[in-house]
Each structure stands twice: as C-alpha cells, then as structure tokens.
Amino acid sequence: DQQVKQNSPSLSVQEGRISILNCDYTNSMFDYFLWYKKYPAEGPTFLISISSIKDKNEDGRFTVFLNKSAKHLSLHIVPSQPGDSAVYFCAESGSRLTFGEGTQLTVNP
Amino acid sequence: NAGVMQNPRHLVRRRGQEARLRCSPMKGHSHVYWYRQLPEEGLKFMVYLQKENIIDESGMPKERFSAEFPKEGPSILRIQQVVRGDSAAYFCASSPPGRGPDTQYFGPGTRLTVL
C-alpha cells in the first residue's frame, strides 16, 4: 500500500521556467512533509519541508504547497536551473520517513 | 564535520554469500536509519536503531537480514545468503539525539550487486 505517491516519473523543463513536482498522500494523519533531492551515486539531501499546520513554505527558489483537503503537495522551483536536474523525492515524516517513488527532473539549458 | 559515511560504496556478492554494509553516523548523532532503494523505486524504510537498541525494524525482511548499532563502531546491516533480489542501493541516515526523522542526513549509499 503506497502511502506517498509521485505519479510523474519524469519532468523536463527549460532553464528559467518553473518546475512543478507533485506528490499525493493517503494518510490524513501525516503531519510533516519533506522534499529531498538526489543526484546519481549520492544519498538524498534535504531540500525543504512543510508542517501540516501551514499551506505554504518558501526558501529561495523553492516553494512547497500543501493542500490538505486534496491530500496533495507540490514543489515549485523558479527559475529552474540546469543544476536542479536530479531526482526529487517527497516524504512523509511520522516515526520514520516514507518516500514517494521519485520524479526525475531535467532542466535543459 | 564529516558527513554520514558508508562503506563499501560498491559490493558484489554471489548468491548464497553474506553481505555486510557499514554506516558511520555524523559526529554526535546517535540515531541510525537504514533504507533500501530497489531499481526504479523510492527509498523504503528498513530499520531504525539507537546505540545498542533496535527501535523499529518493521521494514526489515523477516529472514536473512539483521542490523546492529554497537556502543562503539559503525552500524552494520548484514544480509545472509544473498539472492539476486537483494541487489539494490542501501542508504544509511543519521540524526542527532532528541530529534525526529525529519532531521536525517543521508550517506552516499552502498550499491549491492548479487551475481
């Protein structure tokens, strides 16, 4: 039973445009969500998080939106840069992290 | 402050052999988590340990897999009698005492290939 789902395995955008990565979850008890970024042959690195008491959190070019009624969160990257090309995982933080399958983002120069 | 270290980075084993994966947490971190990433999938939680204690092993296969985090030395994930389906990337993460899983720092992973 996949509790955190990322339905888009890949996304390709032009440099300078907005990247929107999506994530759906099933358990309404989840109260803390995170996004991780992963380069090949490296471990995931923390990017940004959001508590369920908020609907938006912003850090520089990265903004995470949480829609609790739809059980949906999204990560916006604007403007996108070629160095943002990586796999992005959303995760729910309960007693341990539960990850989605990941979305491969490619930012074309 | 060195990050989370894992070794070896790559490990090749034949079916039936044992695999030992090591994880040294960041300095001052007493919580260790192990995750497995199968090809084309996300990371799946395996086990959560504190020094000398297994806190949550609900993600560990019931057979052949074991983990420990001794008082001294690295955490070890041990896979006995490996099978081809064990081929995956195994990631370790650590977090400081008193903090939850949202403060995990990941190592670079060990890529296990079973021939």
Each residue's pLDDT tens digit, A49-106: 999 899 999 999 999 999 999 999 999 999 999 999 999 999 998 778 899 999 999 9
Distance, in Å, from the CA atom of A24 to the CA atom of A71, rounded to the nearest integer, reads: 6
When scoring A96, A99, A103 by the number of chain B Cβ atoms within 10 A, the one with the most, hence best to mutate, is: A96
Distance, in Å, from the CA atom of A28 to the CA atom of B33, rounded to the nearest integer, reads: 24
The whole-angstrom distance between A99's CA and the closest CA on chain B is 6
Q: What is the pLDDT of residue A28?
A: 76
- SS3 assignment, position A64: strand
Indicate the residue of A42, A98, A100 with minimum beta-carbon distance to B45: A98
Q: What is the pLDDT of residue A103?
A: 96
